[in-house]
Amino acid sequence: MKTTFLKIAFLSLSILFLSSCSSNDESGPEIIVEPPVIVPTDPLTTQNVTTYMVDANATKETVALFYNLKKLAKTKVAIGQQDAFNSYYQDNGGDSDIKKNTGYDPALLGLDFMFITDKNNNNQADNWFYQQEEKMVNDVKAAYAKGMINTFCWHLREPNKEDSFYAADMTADQKATAFKSILPGGANNEWYKKKLDKIASVVLNLKGSNGELIPIIFRPFHEFDGSWFWWGANFATAEEYKTAYQFTVDYLKNTKGVHNILYAFSPDNSYTTEANYLSRYPGDKYVDVLGMDNYGDFDNQVQAGATKANSKLKIIADLAKTKVKIAALTETGYQVTSTKTPITNWFSDYLYSALTANNIEVSYVMFWNNTKDGYYVPNSSVANAADFKTFTAKPKSALVNSLPKMYELPK
């Protein structure tokens, strides 16, 4: 009986299936719906990070920094300042002015190789330049221990007298020849290599409490699209600029064996198109961070300036998605002085909209340093202190307390 019942049930289902198919045939041809192809917006995984990095042999902490900075941009923008631990408005020492205002340290500390590579640095304890080097090394270690990110620029003094990095302080002949002279085969290439030797020596001695190398971001030859520095656009062809940048990376990475650096590319704000931005780009194999320095668009241009800045940031943010790189506003600010008053809501409205409008993904923003006579970041006692505090409390803003563990890959 059981077998007969199963046969009848099977026949009934078969007839039902056939009639169903027949019914579909009568209503027209069968429509096959293909499942949608989902293209990931970010192909980066914890397994393939070094595929997208300059240094395939980067230390694990440096790999983690690249990965976490890239992922951070989806939800947060890390906020930092140049020389935050030493540069205070009105020389009011102690905590950074950011911490005085908000209660938290910045997420990012900016430093400079300028004094480290100065001709007057003789590596002796009583030497002022060497003391600055020691102070910076200690600042890097302190920032790393707090979970902050360290980034270095380099105001390298020109190779003739080594007195200035500004083109305005050089003769016409010096301006025409200085940058070319540091290229491979140039008269000052050996001089330049000695400067890189010094950088390598310092970076290879930046170590955490467990002896691990501390990662840094290095931003050589910044604002190269202007001509205020001796490496600027008027003094080097695009190919010469690319050659110098590539030589710098290759020498540190391959010749000196430095594997705790991410490399940043950062013109000023003169570009308006992707092609213009990339006109001096040394290539994906040489760049981890796509940056921009931008003061001009924020200099009292209110929302119109913020919109211009956002459109330029969108160019690099879109490139960073395509190339799987990090996008950043590598320098910015509006300096308040005794003769230059604050702009109402400069931080919380204009800067924040520049960093976040149009769903752009920017990993960090860095303000320039405060001085005795002026400030880019307000401490707790000035007129626009509340504006900055409001800015840091916004959903996409991150001081050090909002950062993930930047030097560990997520499990």
CA 411 to chain centre: 24
Handedness of CA 63, 65, 66, 70 (dihedral sign): positive
Could you confirm whether 331 is annotated as catalytic? yes
C-alpha distances (whole Å) from 229 to each of 112, 274, 279 are: 15, 23, 18
Is 110:82 a contact under the CB 8 Å cutoff?
Answer: yes
CB atoms near residue 153 (< 10 Å): 24
On the CB side of 55, CA atoms within 13 Å amount to: 31
Q: Which of 61, 133, 223, 361 is catalytic?
A: 223
Angle at 384 between CA 382 and CA 385, to 5 degrees: 65
Classify residue 169 as exposed, middle or buried by CB count within 10 Å of its CB (0-12, 13-18, 19+). middle
223 a catalytic residue:
yes
Q: What are phi and psi of 158, to 5 degrees?
A: -60, 155
Q: Which residues are catalytic?
A: 223, 331
